[in-house]
Structures are given as C-alpha cells and as structure tokens.
Amino acid sequence: MAQDPETYIKLPGKRRRIIVGRDTAYLSPDHLLTIESSGFSEQYKRYYFKDIQAINIIKTRKATITNSILLVLMIGLSVWGAFLYPGEMAPLSVFLWIISAVMLVYFIMNAPQGASCEVWIHTRVQKEKIPSLYASRIVNKAMKILVPAIEKVQGTLGGENLKNARNKLYFKKDDQFTPGTRVKIPRVQQTGGSLIWHRISFPMTMISGALIAVAIVYRPPLFLAFASIWMLSGFAVAVVAGAVQTRTGLSGTVKAATWASAGAYLVILVIGYVETVVGWVTMASELDPFQTQNQWEMFKVYSKMDVLGTPWMFWLNTVQASILMMIGAAGLFLFYKDQNR
C-alpha cells in the first residue's frame, strides 16, 4: 500500500527560492510528485498519469527580463563603486562590489539555462503549474522522461487517433469551440494559512525604512533603541510570514516579496552588527569596556555620530531606508492586489 521511497526517480530541474526552500519533481511508476519545500517541511502534490489530459509548455520572458536587469544593475553598481573607491567612501564601494559579485554569480548560474518557460498539467478537474520545470533546457530533458511515462499508462495519441481527438475536442458542438475562444475557468482559492503575518509584516517593513531615514537626521538614544527593537521585531515577523505562507495560496510574487523583506532585514542587521564591531575596534581607545558591554551606553555613543557629515554612512543609511521602503510598499501593493483578485 505504501509507496517505497526508492521507487521515486528525480525529474530534472530544481528551483531554489530567494532565501529558503526549493521546488522539485519526482516520478513514481504511476504518478508525478511535486515537492514544495520550505526548508523545514515539504508539501506534496500528486498527478496520476491516468488522469493527465495534456501538458502545456509556454515560453515566458522572465529570464530575459531578469538577466537584463541584473546585467544593468551589476554594471551600474560596479561603476558607481569604482567612482567612490579612493577616499572616505571606500567602505561603501566595497559594499557595492560585493552586491555586484553576488549578482554576477546569480547571472552566471541562470544564463546557461536558456529561455524561461512554464509547464502546466491539465487534468479533468485542475490546471496546475510545475514550478521545478522553469527553463527550456530543463523542460526538454524532463519531457523526454515524463511523456513516455504517461504514454506507458494511457497509450499514445498519434496519427489518425490524434486527428479524431482534435476534431472531438474542438469541433463537436457546431464549431462553437474553435481555437481562440476564451473559456471561463473558476478560480480555486487555497485556504489554510493565516495572512495576519503578511498584513503586519509589509507595513512594518515600510516603517522600518522610514525609521532608518529619520535616524539620519534625528538620533536621540531612545529613538535608536526603539528603531533597533522595531527592526528586530520586523525581521521576526517577516520570517514567520515566510514560514507560514506555503499553504496560504498567495501568489509567487507576494511570497517572494515576503522573503525579500526578511532577506533585506537580515542583510541590514548583519551590516549593523559589523559596523558595531568595527566601531569597537576603531574607537577602542575612546570607549571604556563598560560602554561596549552596555547596549544603552552604545546607543548614547551612536547618537553622537554625525551621519550627515560622514558620506559613506549617509549613503549606506539612504540605500537601506530606500530598499526597506520599496520592498514594504511593493509587498503591500502586491498583497492587496492578490487579495482582490
């Protein structure tokens, strides 16, 4: 009765999510299994070969657009970094080069996969996308395995059979159904996961960006303490939203925005931590040990920093504030657009 794990054969293709998780597909003798992994758990969907009516592959422009944007950003940030390098702005240029290097790695990994595409499986009652099959090179390999596996169960549809099937599908009701006719497909809303975390997370991300922007000019210790606690809470909420979103039925873009928000928080928190350590080292002679071990005392030290007068700190804070506000606003817009579909 139970399916032995060893009977599953991996289908080519693995799509990694932005921060954690991946999509894969496996073949068993009688069904296709898709796995949506969130890092700590896996969600399964099965498509039995006897139920599959058709497989539809469509070409998309996602890879072209993504690679073009990456290329432009990569070149732009590298050149910007090169202009800023000598002098006081050197730390910011190193930061920009690191971001460019990450983009370059992503570009090198993605470019050889070929044009992006989507694979849809049609059964009598559903039409579902297979997320792991996302690029033409992978799809070609996968189809060479998947199509024979389905035909082994159902038989083949070729020659005269195909002609009859075509006529039966499209012309059985007085030419009412001809190619190009639109059909209304009822949307099935998935439920199960809570959306409250998303409702909180995106506004929190926007506010975090605003707090960083304010902190450029207004830096009393109490405000800095509040902003730090707010950002740590925002990070925690974004991670929880990302973890619970698997079953919510939210669109891929909203899910991506959630993880982008968590990722942005993480990067900013790590940069803040590095800044603190650098501060300890560079200001070792000015600070007494009591100050470095007491967070409130450190906030007092930070409040005295002249961000406006230090170009690299000003730009770093501006970039961080802009990124958080943009992700928060985009996430909020996409979330409510998704809810009103």
Name the residues that contact another protein, by CB under 8 A. Answer: 1-3, 5-6, 8, 10, 24, 26, 30-31, 33, 35, 37, 39-46, 50-60, 118, 120, 122-124, 127, 129, 143, 147, 150-151, 154-158, 161-162, 164-166, 168-170, 177-185, 270, 273-274, 277
Which of 16/166 has CB closer to another protein? 166
CB of 180 to another protein, least distance (A): 4
Which are the contacts of 191, defined by CB distance < 8 A and separation ≥ 6? 247, 248, 249
Could you tell me the CA-to-CA distances from 241 to 76, 114, 261 in Å, in that order? 33, 33, 10
CB of 271 to another protein, least distance (A): 10
Distance of alpha carbon 253 from alpha carbon 331, whole angstroms: 8
CB of 49 to another protein, least distance (A): 9
Which of 6/286 has CB closer to another protein? 6
Which of 202/235 has CB closer to another protein? 235
CB of 69 to another protein, least distance (A): 21
Q: Contact 28/7 with Cβ under 8 angstroms?
A: yes
CB of 214 to another protein, least distance (A): 25
Q: Contact 115/139 with Cβ under 8 angstroms?
A: no
Which class for 300: exposed (0-12), middle (13-18), buried (19 or more C-beta within 10 A)?
A: middle
Which of 187/304 has CB closer to another protein? 187
Distance of alpha carbon 109 from alpha carbon 127, whole angstroms: 30
Q: Contact 121/47 with Cβ under 8 angstroms?
A: yes
Distance of alpha carbon 11 from alpha carbon 130, whole angstroms: 11
Could you tell me the CA-to-CA distances from 239 to 41, 226, 234, 269 in Å, in that order? 15, 20, 9, 14
Which of 56/68 has CB closer to another protein? 56
Residue 327 CA to its chain's centroid (Å):
12
Which of 67/140 has CB closer to another protein? 140
Residue 16, phi then psi, degrees to nearest 5 = -85, 140
Other residues' Cβ atoms within 10 Å of the Cβ of residue 224 = 20
CB of 155 to another protein, least distance (A): 5
Which of 57/70 has CB closer to another protein? 57
CB of 79 to another protein, least distance (A): 30
CB of 296 to another protein, least distance (A): 19
Other residues' Cβ atoms within 10 Å of the Cβ of residue 116 = 20
Which of 152/220 has CB closer to another protein? 152
Q: Contact 190/254 with Cβ under 8 angstroms?
A: no
